[in-house]
Amino acid sequence: MLDFRSDTVTLPTDAMRAAMANAAVGDDVYGDDPTVNELEQWSAERHGFEACLFTSSGTQANLMALMSHCQRGDEYLCGQLAHNYKYEAGGAAVLGSIQPQPVENEADGSLSFDKLAAAVKPDDYHFARTRLLSLENTIGGKVLTMEYMQQARRFCDEQGLALHLDGARVYNAAVALGVDVAEIAKPFDSITVCLSKGLCAPVGSLLLGSHELISKARRIRKMLGGGMRQVGILAAAGKLALTDQVERLADDHANAIYLGEQLNNLPGFTVQPDWINTNILYADLDASINIEHLKQHLKEAGILVSLARRTRFVTHKDVDRLAIDTLISTLSRYLSR
């Protein structure tokens, strides 16, 4: 199957499978897994933080970050479109008793500092305590600029807030901006990184922050059922995600632009090429297209797409130019019937 639904579908590389088979392991809940310890130490340094925790998922890493920064009755500011507001089953509210305060995302994915300032609550017992701003980069495939992230730091310093980055795809942002990931991380008190998306590890994310934050997060991870045992098997693949798979993301970004151009030439498809910053693009399908029928047709041709009036396409290691050409010719033949 050619799968354009997400970069989460990427299969581990042969090098990852070999590293997993040969990983030195121990019980990580006792702190005894050498491969996990090595990944966490290396990653903390690599991203410019004191400490790091390996987690089972990005959702878990975000929840641990929110619960480590905030107490019951605190609130965090985020975008209406933030993954850790909209797509994580309300975990911060349900499990952390933390109130989200979303504000509308701007067209470029950023949050307006005027709108954020208006949402910060005064110190008054009527209100939840505003503690944290959570940003996301990339967001819907769009990249927040270095300047914007530095402004966010100044805003948080003025307002007395901590600053978190949901960096599930922060390496895509680093490649698109042409900067080292540690430069992106610098303004933030904590960041999360997904190893299991475009970076191709089978499982796992990182939470990075201060020693104090990570030791709180370690307790919360245990509480959430995220303490794992011989998990070096996963950490071994995670390390290769960060050392071997980053440069390749530039191919995914070039392929997304190529796919966008090709889709834009099809009748009934509209793509805004300016919005393709990384490996995610959106196509608007007009009313002439029967979504359910086309989706089924593609599936029968061995192509998986989350087809909708506004369809998200994601490029990744396992859909190369040839796969894109196959998608386009299949669509083209269908549309000209």
Ligand X SMILES: *Cc1c(COP(=O)(O)O)cnc(C)c1O
Chain contacts with ligand X (rule: CB under 6 A): 57-59, 62, 83, 136, 166, 168, 194, 196, 205
Tokens of 278: 């990384």
Minimum CB distance to ligand X smaller for 58 or for 289: 58
> Whose Cβ is closer to ligand X: residue 33's or residue 136's?
136
Q: How far is the CB of 95 from ligand X (least distance, A)?
A: 14
CA-to-CA distance for 159 and 327, rounded, in angstroms? 49
Q: How far is the CB of 227 from ligand X (least distance, A)?
A: 17
| Cis ω before 55 (30° cut-off from 0) | no
Residue nearest to ligand X (CB): 58
Half-sphere exposure (Cβ direction) of 137: Cα atoms closer than 13 Å: 28
- Determine phi and psi for 132, rounding to 5 degrees: -150, 145
The distance of closest approach from Cβ of residue 9 to ligand X in the complex, given in angstroms and rounded to an integer, is: 12
Among residues 67 and 294, whose Cβ is nearest to ligand X?
A: 67
Element (H, E) at 76: strand 74-79
Pair 28, 216: CB distance under 8 Å = no
DSSP state of 105: P
Q: Is 283 exposed, middle or buried (0-12, 13-18, 19+ CB in 10 A)?
A: buried
The residue among 52 and 331 lying less far from ligand X, judged by its C-beta, is 52
265 vs 258: CA distance, rounded Å: 11
Least Å distance, CB 196 to ligand X, is 6
In angstroms, the CA 299 to CA 91 distance is 33
Q: 258 in the Ramachandran plot: left (φ > 0), alpha (ψ -120 to 50) or beta?
A: alpha
DSSP codes, 231-277: THHHHHHHHHHHHHSSTTHHHHHHHHHHHHHHHHTSTTEEE-GGG-S
Q: Please state the closest distance from residue 326 (CB atom) to ligand X, in A.
A: 26
Q: Dihedral sign, CA of 64, 70, 71, 72?
A: negative
Closest approach of ligand X to the CB of residue 319, in Å: 18
Nearest residue (CB) to ligand X, 246 versus 301: 246
**Nearer to ligand X among residue 62 and residue 105 (C-beta):** 62
- Residue at token pair 């997304």: 256
Nearer to ligand X, 148 or 334 (CB): 148
Least separation, in Å, of the C-beta of 205 and ligand X? 5
In the complex, the smallest distance separating the C-beta of residue 322 from ligand X, rounded to whole angstroms, is: 26
Closer residue to ligand X, CB minimum distance, 59 or 105: 59
